[in-house]
């Protein structure tokens, strides 16, 4: 075999080898094909979960339009949501008609003028008899077993939009936190220290202000206990988690 | 002398044949290696030659941040602000979570996903909320991850969110073979996504199930991308790297609260500087009944659970 023929043969074998390589690369993909990805969570999942934070429109404006915890669907229908206008800084612009709206809190003086005070009747146990038409207007459930259901424990007898502490100190609606503090001392102490209640803004006071909520921002004073929340979607588990075995139903293994 | 032979002894025919075979061979090599060009959209010479995070000079860091901004812009079509936030002097972050108040609404989980550009699919979440039976055992083996009642809280249960505990004695840092994860002076354990080799030792070492692995390229809708990014924090991750909660480094090192603290509707989550005696976490550690999870392991977490009343 001449050297020429030999080199040609080597070149031909190499060419065939690379051609096979190219063919195999073309046929067998180097990586698996693109996975078709279905969205696991609806993108508007955050929007449909009603929150517990009840804030007045004035507080909403003061917070810069942070409506993240607001229960809009107590009035608006979920299937036909209102058109939301966004400001230049991507925050919701509140319509004018909402400026005086108190959300989830009823203001008695909206209907009852101050010069025509409401007459309230009580049953034998001292609980307020809710007149017809007012059922469901305010769910009075303050205190364990609803023992703080007397309006005048907190409201002034002659002027319902005036508050007073058990000591007789007169307070305005805007000072409601001090009224709460007159009974809930330890909670007020924790709140003052920042350990109770929702916080936002800046932890570093040199960088900016901390954002705090008043008592009535989160708690309805007439029914302060939280009513419950719809939990947001949980983790998408590829495999079911192992559950602890169910305890035997009939036998009693107590020592 | 054969007229077809040149002076070097190569005939025209053999020259043509050799060159034809050669060019076919080159073409075949090029075709064979073509798929390599598609490998790794992000891999570049600069990324390959990038130095260790702690050895980068400020000028080099600037170049790295610009490169990452370019990468994100190429992939998502939006240019983010990637910064390298440095720890502050006299600051050690501590987290406190009120087990009495937490209702298990999982708002923190989803706020964290949005803030930290976590992969939507496959789903990566730093916070796992455990539904625990209120039977006095405090046994996480009895917990439920995927609870879905109509309304929370649930009588007979309490809820315990678990995320990275930012341990003072972190087992995950000890096992990393390439020092891609370390503890910063302000207490945050961070991951360098460009240095991580994806061995997942840290995931195995963590007793709190706090670390998440990108088994595939994360997918985030470009419209939901948080453009305030940090190098050690919420910039988009790569396939095959580890990630974890970093106390929202892009927020907390700028003085703000983490996203989970801001969104918590019950105020269960508290965060602050434990070296500041007036901070709320200092108050909680002094005045509340505090516990840490798996204290017997000696990891010394900076994440505390506490009770009211």
- Among A6, A31, A203, A227, most B C-beta atoms within 10 A, so best to mutate, is A203
For residue B19, give the H/E element and its range.
helix B12-33
Residue A127 pLDDT class (50, 70, 90 cuts): low
Rounded CA-CA distance B44/B300 in Å is 40
**CA distances for B160 relative to B105, B151, B299, angstroms:** 11, 16, 19
Quick one: which of B245, B246, B225, B244 has its CA closest to B236?
B225
Q: Tell me the pLDDT tens digit for each residue of B231-286.
A: 999 999 999 999 999 999 999 999 999 999 999 988 999 999 999 999 999 999 99
Q: Tell me the pLDDT tens digit for each residue of B57-82.
A: 999 999 999 999 998 998 899 999 99
In a domain, B223, yes or no: yes
CB contact under 8 A, B265 and A41: no
Q: Tell me the pLDDT tens digit for each residue of B181-234.
A: 999 999 999 999 999 999 999 999 999 999 999 999 999 998 889 999 999 999
- Here the ipTM equals 0.80
Q: Tell me the pLDDT tens digit for each residue of A180-191.
A: 999 999 999 999
Checking if the pLDDT of B2 tops 60, the result is no
Establish if A21 touches chain B: CB-CB under 8 angstroms: yes
In a domain, B177, yes or no: yes
Q: Tell me the pLDDT tens digit for each residue of A130-145.
A: 666 665 555 567 877 7
Rg (CA), chain A: 33
CB-nearest partner of A234 from B25, B29, B106: B106
Establish if A42 touches chain B: CB-CB under 8 angstroms: no
How many domains does chain B divide into? 1
In a domain, B19, yes or no: no
Please state whether the predicted TM-score (pTM) of the whole model is above 0.90. Answer: no
- Among A7, A16, A195, A220, most B C-beta atoms within 10 A, so best to mutate, is A195
CB contact under 8 A, B262 and A194: no
Residues 101-120 of B with CB under 8 A from A: 103-107, 109-110, 114, 120
CB contact under 8 A, B107 and A43: no
Q: What is the pLDDT of residue A118?
A: 66
For residue B146, cis peptide bond before it (omega within 30 degrees of 0): no
Residue B248 belongs to domain spanning: 93-307
Checking if the pLDDT of B106 tops 70, the result is yes
Per the model's pLDDT, the better-predicted residue between A27 and A215 turns out to be A215
Sort B77 into a burial class: Cβ within 10 Å, 0-12 / 13-18 / 19+: exposed
Give the CB-side neighbour count of residue B214, counting CA atoms within 13 A. Answer: 22
Q: What is the CATH number of the domain that holds B185?
A: 3.30.70.20
Q: What is the pLDDT of residue A47?
A: 38
In a domain, B59, yes or no: no
In a domain, B108, yes or no: yes
Which contacts of B197-200 are long-range, i.e. CB under 8 A and separated by 24 or more positions? B198/B240, B198/B241, B198/B242, B200/B242
Rounded CA-CA distance B265/B287 in Å is 23
In a domain, B85, yes or no: no
In a domain, B274, yes or no: yes
In a domain, B152, yes or no: yes
> pLDDT above 90 covers what percent of chain B?
71
Q: What is the pLDDT of residue B3?
A: 52
Q: Are B105 and B251 in contact (CB under 8 A)?
A: no
Other beta carbons within 10 Å of A168: 6
Q: Tell me the pLDDT tens digit for each residue of A210-233.
A: 988 888 878 878 778 777 778 888
Checking if the pLDDT of A53 tops 70, the result is no
Establish if B252 touches chain A: CB-CB under 8 angstroms: yes
Rounded CA-CA distance B221/B303 in Å is 31
CB contact under 8 A, B262 and A190: no
Q: Are B190 and B212 in contact (CB under 8 A)?
A: no
Per the model's pLDDT, the better-predicted residue between A237 and A29 turns out to be A237
Q: What is the pLDDT of residue A255?
A: 43
CB contact under 8 A, B148 and A229: no
Other beta carbons within 10 Å of B118: 23
Which tokens is B123 given? 């789903």
Q: Tell me the pLDDT tens digit for each residue of A93-119.
A: 655 545 434 343 445 556 666 666 666
């Amino acid at each position: 075999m001449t050297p020429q023929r030999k080199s040609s043969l080597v070149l031909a074998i190499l060419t065939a080898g690379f051609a096979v390589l190219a063919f195999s690369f073309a046929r067998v993909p180097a990586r698996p094909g693109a996975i078709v990805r279905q969205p696991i969570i609806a993108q508007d999942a955050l929007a449909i979960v009603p929150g517990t934070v009840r804030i007045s429109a004035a507080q909403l404006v003061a917070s810069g339009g942070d409506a993240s915890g607001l229960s809009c669907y107590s009035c608006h229908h979920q299937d036909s949501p209102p058109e939301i206008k966004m400001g230049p800084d991507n925050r919701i612009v509140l319509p004018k008609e909402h400026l005086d709206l108190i959300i989830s809190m009823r203001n008695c003086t909206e209907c009852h003028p101050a010069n025509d005070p409401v007459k309230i009747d009580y049953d034998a146990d001292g609980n307020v008899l809710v007149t017809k038409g007012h059922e469901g207007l305010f769910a009075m459930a303050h205190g364990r077993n609803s023992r703080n259901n007397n309006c005048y424990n907190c409201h002034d007898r002659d002027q319902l939009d005036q508050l007073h502490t058990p000591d007789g100190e007169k307070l305005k609606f805007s000072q409601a936190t001090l009224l709460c503090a007159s009974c809930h001392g330890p909670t007020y102490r924790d709140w003052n220290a920042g350990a109770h209640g929702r916080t936002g803004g800046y932890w570093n006071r040199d960088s900016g202000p901390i954002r705090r909520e008043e008592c009535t921002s989160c708690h309805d004073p007439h029914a302060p206990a939280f009513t419950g929340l719809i939990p947001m979607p949980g983790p998408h588990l590829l495999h079911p988690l192992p559950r602890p075995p169910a305890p035997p139903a009939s036998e009693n293994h107590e020592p | 002398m054969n007229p077809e032979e040149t002076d070097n002894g190569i005939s025209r025919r053999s020259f043509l044949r050799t060159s034809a075979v050669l060019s076919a061979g080159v073409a075949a090599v090029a075709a064979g290696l073509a798929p390599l060009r598609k490998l790794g959209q992000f891999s570049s010479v600069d990324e390959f030659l990038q130095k260790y995070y702690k050895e980068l000079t400020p000028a080099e860091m600037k170049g790295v941040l610009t490169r990452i901004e370019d990468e994100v812009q190429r992939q998502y079509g939006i240019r983010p602000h990637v910064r390298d936030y440095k720890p502050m002097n006299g600051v050690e972050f501590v987290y406190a979570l009120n087990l009495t108040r937490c209702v298990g609404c999982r708002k923190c989980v989803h706020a964290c996903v949005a803030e930290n550009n976590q992969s939507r699919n496959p789903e990566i979440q730093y916070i796992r909320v455990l539904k625990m039976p209120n039977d006095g055992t405090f046994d996480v083996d009895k917990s439920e991850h995927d609870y879905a009642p109509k309304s929370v809280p649930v009588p007979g249960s309490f809820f315990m969110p678990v995320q990275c505990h930012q341990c003072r004695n972190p087992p995950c840092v000890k096992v990393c073979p390439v020092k891609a994860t370390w503890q910063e002076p302000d207490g945050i354990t961070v991951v360098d996504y460009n240095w991580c080799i994806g061995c997942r030792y840290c995931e195995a070492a963590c007793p709190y199930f706090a670390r998440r692995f990108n088994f595939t390229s994360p997918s985030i809708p470009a419209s939901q991308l948080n453009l305030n990014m940090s190098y050690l924090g919420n910039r988009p991750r790569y396939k095959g790297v580890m990630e974890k909660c970093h106390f929202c480094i892009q927020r907390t090192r700028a003085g703000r609260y983490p996203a989970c603290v801001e969104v918590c509707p019950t105020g269960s989550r508290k965060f602050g500087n434990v070296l500041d005696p007036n901070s709320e976490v200092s108050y909680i550690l002094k005045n509340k009944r505090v516990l840490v999870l798996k204290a017997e392991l000696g990891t010394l977490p900076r994440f505390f659970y506490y009770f009211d009343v």
